Structure formats: structure tokens, C-alpha cells
Amino acid sequence: MTSSTPAITLPHGIDGATFLRDYWQKKPLLMRSAMPATAFRLAPDELAGLACEAEFESRLIIEHPNGAWEVRHGPFAGDEFAALPASHWTLLVQDVDKYLPDVAQLMEGFDFVPTWRIDDIMISYATDQGGVGPHTDAYDVFLMQAGGRRRWRLSYTQYSDDDLIPDLEQRILSHFHIDEEWILEPGDVLYLPPGIAHWGIAEGECMTYSLGFRAPSQQDLAADWFQHLVSLTDMRRLLDPPDLRLESPAELSEGACEEAARLLDPLPSTRSTDYRVWLGEHLTEPKPQFQLLPPDEAWSEQDLHDWLTAGRQLHRHPFARMAWARIGDDEVVLFSQGESRRLHHRMTDAVKLIAEHRHFGATELARLDASAEALSTLLLQLLNAGILEPQEQD
């Protein structure tokens, strides 16, 4: 087992259901002492080390004394940090959860919101007065104060692209009306819905972990859905109706329109099973750098049996995205990495266990009301796709 999961302590009088009803995607919530400060283990120089590695997407944002903003992209050379000023800069590293299991584990505390929306944990280190400037994001975020103090200013003004500082790579608002201001201490968590302008400024050195969510645009969904529809088509061609009678040979008749519709109507609608399966696949599609590979040696049924009976755990590869859905009364489907596995509805509890938990073992599996054979088949598929991995012992 890895370290125990630090659950989020919601403020008094707010439970997961209240949070979803009153705050999620609606309004900000400051949660004082929501997490133990000991949950955040990464030291600033370790974060700087990650920003020097090519696998990590990292940025340095420097606010110069003349008010100019500078953005530099990693990977950085180690001595680049030593050459920076004493204040007014921040280092941001994306997707830290994909490589550090301790960081991925923090996500389990947030299972009161839809986990299929989770994108990544970005970690930022800032020197005194450092930050990314005032801005809005298009997605939900939980800002976890990991170390030091950060002043958060919120604005309820609706800003547009016209309010941005022009010709700047980073989206920074040129003006900001402060409606709310809090200083976050280690263990405090601030939830922000999409579109709320915010401005974080380090008060002395600080570290913040941002759990970011995904909000695909209508354009993204349409582009992928229509591409999926195209993939289902063949080369059948438009014919004229058999009872063709012409009033005018140049007229695009009602009958001709109907014949064209006859080619398109058999394609699935957004009410179809095909659509649900496509949506789950679309939403669990990983970023290109987080594709999974099969293990070097394939797992056999015997390997799996031996592993579990030895009391050892299976864990989700940190690259893996998971979701599940019901299909009618008879089927469930497990989604991961843009793929789907359709299963008998008796596998529902197994699918939930796998999609909700980052690690589990024989004890959890034994509680399931699934056929041992079907369960073993599914686990082997996931292990041999690299989605599940044997949990190395600490």
C-alpha cells in the first residue's frame, strides 16, 4: 500500500451532495484546513528538478520591475533558476500526478465530483510576489495550498478577451476589480468554478497544487463525433427515387432530398448506444504523451492468481483515465484510454471498483458478486494493456 489517502474535509455543514448542488460549477468555496499540510511532500528543488526533465511540461513566468511579463518554457537547465531575481517569478509544472504516485493519490480525496473530468495536478512554486497574473480559466479547479502563503483575489466581473493584456502569450487581464480576498495557509483549499477571474500572489515563497478538470468544447465534441460518424460510412451513392417524375429537370426535388437523407439516417444519433460508447472513449482519450504500452511480459491467469493470493495489490497506471457507463439493463461498459470494454451487467460492481479506485487487491475483489472467470478475464485485459499494474511493495 502507498501512503493513506488524505480525504478532503469539507467545511462544516457541507457534504459532497451540498457541494455539487450549491458550489460545483456555480460559485467559489474556500475550505480552511481541508487537507493535512503533510499531504504535500514535494520540495521546491525537487519541483525544479522535474522542470529540467523533458517529460514534464513546465513554464517559468517572470514579472519584471517595469511591469512586463516574460514566459519561458522548459525543460530548463539547472543553473537557470540560480540566475533568476529574488522575487516576482513562478515555476509551473503540469501533469505531475502522471509521474509521482504520491501526487496522483491526492486525487482520491476529490471523489465527490465527477472524476472522469479530472485532467491533472499542476504544481507551482513561487517566490515572494510571484504568480501568473489575474486571469480566468475555462474549467473547474481546486487550488490546494501546499506550503507557504498565497493571497487569492477573486473578481465576479465577467471579463472578455478585450480585457487581456495584448500581445502576450500568457492570458493576463489588464485590469481587475477585487471582490474577495483570502490568504491561504498550508492545507487550505480554494475551489473555483470556470470563468471566475482570480489572481494569486505569493506572500513569501509558496507552493500550490492545482487539480484541474476538463471541459471539452462543443467544437471538440462535434469534431470528434462527426469524424466518428464518417468512420462508419461506406461508398454507397446517392440514387434518384424509383418513381422519379420531373417538373423541372434542374429542381432539387423533395424526393431527391429524401434519398440523400436515406444515406445519412442510418448513422447513429446522440440517443444511440453507439454515441454513449463513443463519448466514453472520447472523454478517456489520453493526451498523446500519455499513451500506455503493454507490459514486457504478458500476464497469465496463473500470474494474476498468484499475485492476488500473495496479498498483493493492483494499481492503476497514473496515465490511465477511467470512466464507466450503463448500457440499457443488460450491459456496462468500462472506458479507459479511449477504449471501451462492454460487459454483462453482473460486472457492474467490478467495473465501479476498477474505475473508482487507484489500487485494490484480493480483499476488495472477493466482495464482488461477479463470476471469477469474467473478472479474471477483465483484469488480465487491463494488465496486458498496461492500464493496471502490479503494485510494487514499499
Strand segments, DSSP code E, in 283-393 are 314-316, 322-327, 331-336, 339-344, 359-360, 388-390
Indicate the residue among 210 and 340 with the shorter CB distance to Mn ion: 210
- Residue 75: is the preceding peptide bond cis (ω within 30°)? yes
**Binders of Mn ion: how many residues, by CB under 5 A?**
1
* Residue 141 C-beta: closest distance to Mn ion, Å: 6
* Residue 126 C-beta: closest distance to Mn ion, Å: 13
* Residue 185 C-beta: closest distance to Mn ion, Å: 19
* Residue 200 C-beta: closest distance to Mn ion, Å: 8
Q: What is the spatial distance between Cα 370 and Cα 352, in angstroms, rounded to a whole number?
A: 12
Indicate the residue among 119 and 137 with the shorter CB distance to Mn ion: 137
Indicate the residue among 165 and 256 with the shorter CB distance to Mn ion: 165
Q: What is the spatial distance between Cα 119 and Cα 117, in angstroms, rounded to a whole number?
A: 6
Would you say 68 and 170 are in contact if contact means Cβ atoms under 8 Å apart? no
Indicate the residue among 137 and 140 with the shorter CB distance to Mn ion: 137
Q: Binders of Mn ion among 128-147, rule CB under 5 A?
A: 137
Indicate the residue among 203 and 274 with the shorter CB distance to Mn ion: 203
Q: Show the binding pattern over residues 144-183: x = contacts Mn ion (CB under 5 A), - = does not.
A: ----------------------------------------
Would you say 37 and 147 are in contact if contact means Cβ atoms under 8 Å apart? yes
Would you say 207 and 148 are in contact if contact means Cβ atoms under 8 Å apart? yes
Written as nine digits, the cell of 35 is 487537507
Written as nine digits, the cell of 373 is 472467470
Indicate the residue among 97 and 137 with the shorter CB distance to Mn ion: 137
Say how many C-beta atoms besides its own lie within 10 A of residue 64's C-beta: 11
Q: What is the spatial distance between Cα 370 and Cα 345, in angstroms, rounded to a whole number?
A: 9
* Residue 115 C-beta: closest distance to Mn ion, Å: 20
* Angle at the Cα of 385 from the Cα atoms of 221 and 378, rounded to 5 degrees: 95
Residue at shortest CB range from Mn ion: 137
Give the torsion sign (CA, 262, 266, 271, 277).
negative
Indicate the residue among 137 and 285 with the shorter CB distance to Mn ion: 137
* Angle at the Cα of 390 from the Cα atoms of 389 and 394, rounded to 5 degrees: 125
* Residue 96 C-beta: closest distance to Mn ion, Å: 16
Q: Binders of Mn ion among 17-76, rule CB under 5 A?
A: none
Asked if 95 interacts with Mn ion (CB under 5 A), we say: no
* Residue 288 C-beta: closest distance to Mn ion, Å: 24
Provide the binding-site residues for Mn ion, judged by CB under 5 A. Answer: 137
